[in-house]
Amino acid sequence: MANFKEGLSKFFDILSKILALVALVTYALVIVDTSIVSFLTDANINTIILKILYYAPLFLVSIVSIEFAVKRNIVLQIIIYVIIAAVIIFSFFPETWQSILNLI
């Protein structure tokens, strides 16, 4: 079981590093495009880049949290997974929070 947790931790570590690099390159690309040379003129590419800029930090924090949770006990894992699920649900479906408030 310890080998499985270690392997899973390494997988999420590599995944988080790749995602961090993608986010960093995307931020650098946007900074260069807006300040030095405007070369991103296609609307589809701009839409994709804006989505990466919006969601990359959320996914990066989630993956790093999962990497942290893999090494801990089951209670802490469940708490972290519930927090991640709540953040993602309320990010993608903001009307969900209003529905919950209406029930109370």
Phi, psi angle pair for 71, to nearest 5°: -85, -5
Please give the pLDDT value at position 78: 94
Torsion, CA 48, CA 53, CA 55, CA 60, rounded to 10:
130
Question: In the chain, what are the domain boundaries?
Answer: 2-103
Please give the pLDDT value at position 1: 65
The CA-to-CA distance between both ends of the chain, in Å, stands at: 43
Least confident span in 12-16, 47-51, 80-84: 47-51
The reported pTM is 0.76
- 74-92 helix and 95-103 helix, angle to the nearest 10 degrees: 110
Which amino acid makes up residue 8?
L
Beta strands in the chain (DSSP E): none
More reliable by pLDDT, 34 or 40:
34
- Res. 16: pLDDT tops 80: yes
